[in-house]
Amino acid sequence: MLSFNRRTLILMLAALGACGFQPAYGPNGAATNLQANIEIDAPTTRDGFNFVRHLEERLGQPETAQFTLSYALKLNEDDLGITPAQSITRYNVLGAVDYAVHAVGNGAVVHSGTVDAFTSYSATGTTVSTQTAKRAAYARLMIILADQITTRLIATSGGWAQ
106-161 pLDDT, tens per residue?
A: 999 999 999 999 999 999 889 999 999 999 999 999 999 999 999 999 989 988 87
3-class DSSP state of 116: strand
Q: pLDDT band at 17, cuts 50/70/90?
A: low
Tell me how far the alpha carbon of residue 93 is from its chain's centroid.
Answer: 16
Query: Would you state the pLDDT for residue 118?
Result: 97
Mean pLDDT rounded to a whole number for the chain: 88
Indicate the burial class of 109 (C-beta count within 10 angstroms; 0-12, 13-18, 19 or more). exposed
Query: Are 25 and 35 within 8 A, CB to CB?
Result: yes
Averaged over 49-53, what is the pLDDT? 98
Q: Which carries the bigger pLDDT value, residue 35 or residue 145?
A: 145
Orientation of helix 127-160 relative to helix 46-59, angle to 10°: 40
Query: Would you state the pLDDT for residue 34?
Result: 82
Q: Which carries the bigger pLDDT value, residue 107 or residue 9?
A: 107
Quickly list DSSP for 34-99.
TTT-EEEPPP-SHHHHHHHHHHHHHH---SS-SEEEEEEEEEEEEEEEE-TTS-EEEEEEEEEEEE
Query: Would you state the pLDDT for residue 63?
Result: 85
Q: Which carries the bigger pLDDT value, residue 34 or residue 151?
A: 151
* Cα distances (angstroms) measured from residue 108 to each of 10, 16, 159: 45, 36, 14
Question: Going from the N-terminus, what domains does the chain have, and what CATH number goes with each?
Answer: 30-160 (3.30.160.150)
Query: Would you state the pLDDT for residue 7?
Result: 78
Query: Are 38 and 65 within 8 A, CB to CB?
Result: yes
Q: Which carries the bigger pLDDT value, residue 26 or residue 61?
A: 61
